[in-house]
Structure 1
Amino acid sequence: MRLHRLEVTAFGPYAGSEIVDFDALGADGLFLLHGDTGAGKTTLLDAIAFALFGVVPGARGQVKRLRCDLADPETPTEVVLELTVQGHRLRIVRCPEYQRPKRRGNGYTTQPAKASLAWVGEAPHGQRPEGLTRIDEVARTVQRLLGMSAEQFFQVVLLPQGEFARFLRAETTEREQLLERLFGTRRFADVERWFRELRAERGRELDRRRQDVRVWLERLAQVAGEEIPEDAAQPWVDDVRRRAEAAAAEAAEYARAAGVRREHADAVLHERRTTAERVRRLRAAHRELAALADGADERAAARAELESARRATAVTGLAAEADRQAARLDRCGQAELAARAAVAETGFEQPDAEVVVLRERAGDLREEAGTLAGLVEEARQQARDQARLAELQETATYASAQAAALGEKLDGLPERIRELREEHEAAAGAAARLGDVRSREATLAEARASAEQVPALERALAEARDAERAAIDAHQLARSELLDLRERRLAGMAAELAANLGPDLPCPVCGSAEHPAPATADGDRIGEEQERAAADRERAAERRREAAVDERHRAENGLAVVRERLGGQSADDLGHALAGVRAELERLEGLAVRRDRLDASVRSAEAELEDLTEKRAAADRAVSEADAERRSLAEYVEQRGRRLEEARGEHADVAGRREHLLRVGQALDRLADARAERAAAEDRLREQRTAVRDAALGAGFESVEAALAAARSEERVAELERRLREAEDAEVRARAVLEEPELAGVSPDEVVDVDSARAEAEEARVRAEQAVSRAHEAEGRARTVTELAERFATATGELTPAEEEFAELDALTDVVNGRGQNARRMSLRSYVLAARLEEVAVAATARLRSMSQGRYSFVHSDAAGSRGTRGGLGLDVLDDYSGTVRPAKTLSGGESFLASLALALGLADVVAAETGGALLDTLFVDEGFGTLDAETLDVVMDVLDELRAGGRVVGLVSHVEELRQRIPTRLRVRKSRSGSSIELEGAAPAVG
């Protein structure tokens, strides 16, 4: 990938249009991007990232404010990038989403994001020659050509030194997160999760199988009525099964014997019951015949009474009908009197007239009432129309008053709407500026906090320098003591050797066993232990000296970073600026908080204006319509009233007169009907009384009264018939019993003992039923025990292979997830990342040794962490001067920059190779050079010169003044009140 041209318009701090020609800028392979703090150096890198991926790296991408606040409202925000990837030159144009003023009316509207990709020259195979205009298609095409995602691009092309310094000192978890994003090892995490989920699933299944085995065992013990032993297994189950089957066989044999005894007792009881029943029947027959003989006279009287009642039946029916006709005549007379009184009340002059005359008069009255039916309906309509007239008058009056009230409300409403709109526009403008002012406030607050740290950082630096000087003095003193002790020990070495000589022991110098004049020590003798103690003190002092030097480097680096960030501003200056911004922010927030309420008020007022206008028009229409309808209806009501007045006569209204005529006609009809019915009742009563007399004489009675005296009720007749029939049936049954052959030879005085046989049979029955119940219970228990034993055996047989399979899966899952037999505590994902990190360490070591003049190398460690934590992602530094492996955290500020730069370059090479991405011909290194001394800076520049091999272009972003002298081609960014601008230094003008 090689960049050719970048153009930014209204982007970040650039209010106008700025162009960077990378072909001219990178002609020498190395260029410098420098300028004032906040001028927009890093914004150019953000523009490259935005053009390619539509996002910017780091925390800046979370704010999503890419448009320049100083740009002209009509100037669109746009980034144009021309580059070559895999031999294809393309031009990408992107516009972010931002708020711009409306072209018509007031307020703001959202300008949507846009993107396009055009091929400069021939399009690649499979691509449309006209290019792409959809954002998602542009993103997919760029990522496919580069072969890496946005996060990977930010790491391998825009080398952020701060992030790699944190990566160098990070713990295993943080380092793992970055490597996972770069190398895409999520699939290995999915494998780890798949193993964990499979183990959990198989574990639950195994628990269910174990629970099944336990359930079958508990059910077996419950059915068998036994306690489960601690070592319960298949032999115990088989023994329980055999005992249950033996108990079932024994219970069945006992039930069979009890059944035989029960059958014998039942036979004896049946025989005695049969004999006792015969004796009872014989005695009952004799008693029944004796009782019948005693009641013979009573039954003869009942037969005579029954015969007389049957002859009187024909007379009682006719007599009852005569009584009913008499009652009917009485009712007809009463009805006629009531009907005559009703006719008299109506004022009819001939209430005693014949039936024919009454019916004729009633017909005349009904005909007259019929002529008035139509006028009755007109009278009802007349009442409704009069009510409608009053309603119309009320409606017209109310509508007129409503129209007047609505007119008063409408008078001041337009002016109120105009005032609300002006207030809403002011609030909207304040809300639009809030984001920018809040961003300025956050920036100033952060800067002031940094400025307040300067005194503490200066004190810390002074203390670190004092501590360094003290450590150097202490180390030099300890070293002097060590050298002095060594010199004194060498001087007394002969005495030390002589002190170890003994009789018959060879001299370590000459080998002789004779020692005629051994040397003696002058003064205090210095031994090996004293020299070793002095050496230990010297090494401890050296370590304290190195620690003090590192602490001083860190203090200097921290103070330099803060001062570089402040750009010469003091805490008081930042405090005054922050107070002004906060006052402005408070004023804008006070206005912006009213925007939604004012917007709702404007909409409400406009809706009210529209609603009141419609209501007033409706009220005016209602007045006109009510007046027109009232005038038309009043004329018709007046004409109808004259007709009704003439038809009602002396009555209150037409309906009253018609009702009176109908009432008189109905009264005459009822009187005629009553008189005709009374005459018919008199004739029927005379006929019925004659029939009663003839029937009494025909039935053999002397008079009607005698016939009625002999009559009996139906219940009495039925009772007499039942008593005579029962006596005859009883006599027949008793004689039939005496004639039965099975009673021959049976004496009614014989005594049979049934109770003792019944007691013996009941006892035998109870015992037999209990025995059968116990046999069934034992058989069922044995059958259930057999079934449960078979299920237990099946469940046990399935459990064993499941336990073996789960044990294997459990161990494998622990190994894959960095536990169990995994001695290094490395998960599968960590193992893959460790391999990648090892590749990064190898690639970075080559550059780190060059930049540190052969002193430092990266060392990858896959050992487990402390207290059993995960390992595999350890990254330390080998110091060739001391031959020890040091933690990366012990490096000084300048050494940390060298290490992080080497690590960034190494990681860039590995990620590019891993993703199969396009050749990276352009790299940017952002800041960090201020921590290097002149000699180390030379070495780093040599390494960066090596990066230019093969036509690669390297861009440096830094404030370091010395780099301006070393790098001839420079791009300077200037800032002003009207927006930042770009100026090319040391090359032919190719930017604007």
Structure 2
Amino acid sequence: MRLHSLEVTAFGPYRDHQEVDFDRLGGDGLFLLHGDTGAGKTTLLDAVAFALYGSVPGARGEVKRLRCDTAKPDTITKVVLELTVQGQRLRLERSPEYQRPKKRGDGYTTQQAKASLTWVDGAPTEQPPEGLTRIDEVGRTVQRLLGMTVDQFFQVVMLPQGEFAKFLRSDTTEREKLLEKLFGTERFGEVERWFVERRRERGRGVEEQTQRVRELLARVSQVSGAEPDADADEQNWLEDIEKRSLREMEGTQAEHSRLRREREVADAKLTERRELAEKVRRVRQANATLAAIGEQQDQHDAWRAEREAAQRAVPVLAARNAVLRAEQERDKARAAVATAAASCELDAETPLAELRSLAGTRREEAGGLAHLIPEAQQQETDRQKLASLADRLAADETLETELVGQQATLPDRIGTARQQVEDAKHAELRLETVQARGTEVAALLRTARELPGAQKELASATARAQHAIDAHQQARDLLQDLRARRLAGMAAELAARLSPGEPCPVCGSAEHPAPGEPVGAPVRAEDEDNAQTEEQRAATRREKATAEAQRAQQHVDNLAERLGEHTEADLAAELAELRTERDALQKTAAELPQRTKNLAELEESTERLNEQLSKVRTRAAAARSEQASLATTVDEREARLREGRGDFPSIADRRTHLLDIAARLEQLAAARTSRDDAEHRLAEQETALAEAATAAGFDNAAAALAAERGDDRIAQLAEALAEVEERAAGARAALSSAELFGVDADAEVGLEEATEAAVVAREAAERSAALAHRAEQRQRDIAQLAERLRGAWAELGPALAEHAELEALADVVNGRGQNARKMSLRAYVLAARLEEVAIAATRRLQRMSGGRYSFVHSDAAGARGTRGGLGLDVLDDYSGKVRPAKTLSGGESFLASLSLALGLADVVAAETGGALLDTLFIDEGFGTLDADTLDLVMDTLDDLRAGGRVVGLVSHVEEMRQRISVRLRVRKSRDGSTLELQT
């Protein structure tokens, strides 16, 4: 990766557009960003990081305030970086998210973050030629090309200010977190968790298998009724259970076979006795049935006679039903004749010829009125038309009056509409002024409402600051008191360490004639350190509380200055009036298009009214002429229709009346004919009834009707006679059968003794069967459970062995068990990486320290059983002892931190396999070094330029500027060039 140019606008302290040409600066491989403190040197490095990853390193990235506070509102904050990565030259442009003033009104709006990537020399085949504009796509592409994350980039390429020594002085936990980010060892943590989860999963499986074995043992014990001994072998116990259940099953089956044979013999004897008893019972029952039937013979003969008479009366009943139907038809015909005669107002016995003659006359009169019906209909249509013409004339006269009135009022209406249009236009102009003033008053009102809360917060912050000041003062007084007391008791503290015969650490004497005595309560060094720590904390709290009180006071002053002489009540009232006026003006202004349209319509309505008035008058004249002609025709037709309808309302009513009279006369004639036919049929049916009774063997029809029986009674008689005959036939058949031949009805069988013997044998056999079944079921259950138990034992053994092996391996991987160094797999990998870093950093540290210091990596376990592997100390060649890195001086710490950072950068770059890093930035305090050490550091930085690498240094130290200028001039003079680079 090589940087070419950087452009920043409204970024950090840079209010205007600034550009940095890295190609020119890095022409010699080394350049210096020099300036006073706060001039924005580090901001340029932040700009590079922001252009690449959208974030800046260190604590500055947590604040997320990248825009210049003094930039103009319309100036866009952006960073443009042009660089070459893996042979691809590209241009990155980013803008952060920030708040900018609204273009209209007060307040702020959010300017969204943006990013774009443009290919300068043509896009790769897999990338779009127009570049990328989505933030996530730009981020993924940059990370893919550089081959490292943002954390790795800040540690490898951009060594930020104040971050070198953090890794050097950090404890094992912090160092582990940083190494994990840089080397991506999360996968080894996943391996550790996989082993733990696998062990937990296999443990659950083993527990389930063990529980299954316990359940099967309990089930076998429950079925067999035998508990296993605590010291007995479970396999032998199971075999004994199986043998005992088998013997029990065989014994119960043999007993069941014997008792079953005895039951079969008893059942055979009982069956024989039951068959004989049944034959005796059937003989007795047949004799009793025949005797009972003989006693009821007379009743049976009466049932047969009654059934035969009812059957002979069936034809007579049919003839009687025909007579009844004929009588009903005759009565119905007589009633119809009476009704028809009443409707005609004539005698019911009027001759038929006379009735038919009268009906024909009425029909001829009705036919003569048929031609007048269309004229009556036309008369009604014409009368409706006359009424319609009258309504139309009245409507036209009313419309004419209205149109004349509109012509008279039209000039005034046009004037009013023009005034309304002017009012709407004026409302539009006034609305902008009212809205602007409303926005201003609303902002002032928000300020007025915010002021009480700010004053309350100011009072609270002032109180907290005063409390913090008092607490700090108390802590200082306590510290000074403890220091004074400790100085007073220092002699007693030294005397407490003296031993007889041992030299005094102060004077060297082995004799101690008058050791110091404690003065009051002794003060230990720990007490003084604790008091000093508490005093520093109180000072920090005091500074924080004082700053908060100052910010609160500044906020209240700003609010009061903005508010001026205005009060909240006056502003609220004015805002309400402005909003009311604004609503009214908005409503009036919104009506401008409609008012303009109404005015145009009124101006165009004069000619339209004249045309409408002319059309109305012409239409009214035509209607009056048509009305006069139609009235004459209606009067002439009315005279003819009056003569035709007579006393009836209409011609149709008179014609309908005549046709109705003719129909009623014809109906009376038809009813007379139907009555005569019904009386003739009745006489014929009565003769047929008498003949049917004689033919059925009855003296008369009355006797035949008396023999009538219902269907239910006939069926009842037939069923009773059939039952009697069936019982008699069955009894005779039973007595004559070969099965009952020779059976004595008076014989005694003796069934009770055989039944009792059979019951006793059956109960004994059933009990033995139940016992045999239970023994067989128990033996089968035990056999099945034994098979399952042996299978569970066979599966549990390998599972226990596998779980034990997996548990031991999981403990080793996670730094427990047989792991003597208590190092997890992840810590082991990180320890190997840290050892590589220590080796790479030692080469530079030895050179910069003149061979005095070198890094020592330790994989020993920490204190109190904590995990080891990430220890990093310093070997001092002067003393030959290893000492903690925290004991190094300020300059020595800088050398060690810089060496460690460069070594870490080398190892991370090799580990990630990322792009070739041709540019390196170092932002650190070189002012802590003496002249000789600074020369060694500069020599080391010169070595970093090997292979075309560019190293950029950031420092405000003037000596750095002079040394780099001298080195550049020397380097230029060696190759004969006279160019002097000014940075």
TM-score, normalised with respect to structure 2: 0.68
State the alpha-carbon separation in 2 of the partners of residues 964 and 559 from structure 1.
38
- Secondary structure of 1:16 counterpart: coil
Partner of 2:47: 47
Partner of 2:150: 150
What residue identity is the alignment partner of 2:195?
Answer: F
Contact 2:49 2:55 in 1 (8 A): yes
Partner of 2:297: 296
Deviates more, 1:796-805 or 1:857-866: 857-866
What's the offset of the Cα at 1:315?
1.9
- Secondary structure of 2:6 counterpart: strand
- After superposition, the C-alpha distances for 1:774-812 in whole angstroms (9 at most, x for unaligned) are 333332332232222212211221121111111111111
State the alpha-carbon separation in 1 of the partners of residues 275 and 484 from structure 2.
135
5 Å-filtered alignment, 1:573-592, equals: 577-580=554-557
State the alpha-carbon separation in 1 of the partners of residues 592 and 237 from structure 2.
95
Contact 1:159 1:926 in 2 (8 A): yes
What's the offset of the Cα at 1:488?
8.4
Correspondence 1:774 to 2:771:
yes
Partner of 2:693: 696
Partner of 2:835: 838
Partner of 1:981: none
1:924 to 921, 934, 937: 921
Partner of 1:939: 933
Correspondence 1:270 to 2:271:
yes
Contact 1:92 1:115 in 2 (8 A): yes
What's the offset of the Cα at 1:916?
3.4
What's the offset of the Cα at 1:817?
1.8
What's the offset of the Cα at 1:831?
1.1
What's the offset of the Cα at 1:278?
1.8
Contact 1:859 1:878 in 2 (8 A): yes
| Gap change, CA 1:764 and 1:723, over 3 Å in 2 | same
| Gap change, CA 1:294 and 1:571, over 3 Å in 2 | closer
Partner of 2:199: 199
Partner of 2:216: 216
Partner of 1:980: none
Partner of 1:396: none
Correspondence 1:759 to 2:756:
yes
What residue identity is the alignment partner of 1:942?
Answer: L
What's the offset of the Cα at 1:195?
1.9
State the alpha-carbon separation in 2 of the partners of residues 841 and 753 from structure 1.
118
- After superposition, the C-alpha distances for 1:64-104 in whole angstroms (9 at most, x for unaligned) are 55444544566554433344656776654445566779999
5 Å-filtered alignment, 1:668-679, equals: 679=676
- After superposition, the C-alpha distances for 1:739-771 in whole angstroms (9 at most, x for unaligned) are 233433322211111233223323333333343
Report percent identity of matched pairs. 47
What residue identity is the alignment partner of 2:861?
Answer: A
What's the offset of the Cα at 1:265?
1.5
What residue identity is the alignment partner of 1:246?
Answer: R
5 Å-filtered alignment, 1:341-420, equals: 344=343
Deviates more, 1:887-896 or 1:271-280: 887-896
- Secondary structure of 2:732 counterpart: helix
- Secondary structure of 1:778 counterpart: helix
What residue identity is the alignment partner of 1:47?
Answer: A
Contact 1:95 1:115 in 2 (8 A): no
| Gap change, CA 1:766 and 1:336, over 3 Å in 2 | farther
- Secondary structure of 1:56 counterpart: coil
| Gap change, CA 1:553 and 1:193, over 3 Å in 2 | closer
| Gap change, CA 1:888 and 1:315, over 3 Å in 2 | same
What's the offset of the Cα at 1:111?
6.7
Contact 2:475 2:538 in 1 (8 A): no
| Gap change, CA 1:172 and 1:415, over 3 Å in 2 | farther
What residue identity is the alignment partner of 1:745?
Answer: G
What's the offset of the Cα at 1:253?
2.0
Contact 1:161 1:904 in 2 (8 A): no
Q: Which runs of 5+ in 2 are unaligned?
A: 396-415, 448-456, 572-577, 606-611, 968-978
State the alpha-carbon separation in 1 of the partners of residues 891 and 476 from structure 2.
16
Deviates more, 1:941-950 or 1:695-704: 941-950
Contact 1:325 1:684 in 2 (8 A): yes
Contact 1:265 1:757 in 2 (8 A): yes
Contact 1:11 1:77 in 2 (8 A): yes
| Gap change, CA 1:614 and 1:791, over 3 Å in 2 | farther
What residue identity is the alignment partner of 1:41?
Answer: K
- Secondary structure of 1:281 counterpart: helix
State the alpha-carbon separation in 2 of the partners of residues 99 and 574 from structure 1.
20
Partner of 2:454: none
What residue identity is the alignment partner of 1:45?
Answer: L
What residue identity is the alignment partner of 2:256?
Answer: A
| Gap change, CA 1:734 and 1:945, over 3 Å in 2 | same
State the alpha-carbon separation in 2 of the partners of residues 698 and 615 from structure 1.
113
What residue identity is the alignment partner of 1:281?
Answer: R
Partner of 2:411: none
Partner of 1:798: 795
Deviates more, 1:124-133 or 1:210-219: 124-133
Partner of 1:684: 681
Correspondence 1:818 to 2:819:
no
Partner of 2:19: 19
What residue identity is the alignment partner of 2:10?
Answer: A
What residue identity is the alignment partner of 1:40?
Answer: G
What's the offset of the Cα at 1:203?
2.6
Contact 1:248 1:775 in 2 (8 A): yes
Q: Which runs of 5+ in 1 are unaligned?
A: 394-403, 434-441, 494-524, 592-597, 971-986
Partner of 1:309: 310
- Secondary structure of 1:80 counterpart: strand
5 Å-filtered alignment, 1:536-935, equals: 577-580=554-557, 679-845=676-842, 858-876=855-873, 899-918=896-915, 920-928=917-925, 932=928, 935=930
State the alpha-carbon separation in 2 of the partners of residues 651 and 928 from structure 1.
133
Partner of 1:437: none
Contact 2:245 2:779 in 1 (8 A): yes
- Secondary structure of 1:43 counterpart: helix
| Gap change, CA 1:489 and 1:218, over 3 Å in 2 | closer
Contact 1:553 1:893 in 2 (8 A): no
Partner of 1:285: 286
Contact 1:85 1:145 in 2 (8 A): yes
What's the offset of the Cα at 1:814?
1.8
| Gap change, CA 1:295 and 1:127, over 3 Å in 2 | closer
- After superposition, the C-alpha distances for 1:339-375 in whole angstroms (9 at most, x for unaligned) are 559x85xxx766968797999989999999xx99x99
- Secondary structure of 2:35 counterpart: strand
What's the offset of the Cα at 1:828?
0.9
State the alpha-carbon separation in 2 of the partners of residues 427 and 73 from structure 1.
23
What's the offset of the Cα at 1:613?
9.0
Correspondence 1:5 to 2:5:
yes
Partner of 2:451: none
- Secondary structure of 1:747 counterpart: coil
What residue identity is the alignment partner of 2:867?
Answer: R
Partner of 1:320: 321
Contact 1:24 1:990 in 2 (8 A): no
| Gap change, CA 1:817 and 1:36, over 3 Å in 2 | same
Bigger relative contact order (CA 8 A; separation at least 6)? 1
Contact 2:356 2:666 in 1 (8 A): no
What's the offset of the Cα at 1:614?
10
Contact 1:30 1:948 in 2 (8 A): no
- After superposition, the C-alpha distances for 1:810-844 in whole angstroms (9 at most, x for unaligned) are 11112112222223332111111122223333444
- After superposition, the C-alpha distances for 1:423-469 in whole angstroms (9 at most, x for unaligned) are 89879999xx9xxxxxxxx9xx99x9999999999999999999999
What's the offset of the Cα at 1:882?
7.5
State the alpha-carbon separation in 2 of the partners of residues 760 and 608 from structure 1.
120
What residue identity is the alignment partner of 2:703?
Answer: A
TM-score, normalised with respect to structure 1: 0.68
5 Å-filtered alignment, 1:48-197, equals: 48-61=48-61, 64-72=64-72, 75-83=75-83, 92-96=92-96, 113-118=114-119, 132-133=131-132, 139=139, 142-197=142-197
- Secondary structure of 1:822 counterpart: coil
State the alpha-carbon separation in 1 of the partners of residues 855 and 537 from structure 2.
23
Partner of 2:450: none
- After superposition, the C-alpha distances for 1:881-922 in whole angstroms (9 at most, x for unaligned) are 877766556667666555544433332232223223455454
Partner of 1:949: 943
Contact 1:332 1:677 in 2 (8 A): yes
What residue identity is the alignment partner of 1:234?
Answer: Q
Partner of 1:261: 262
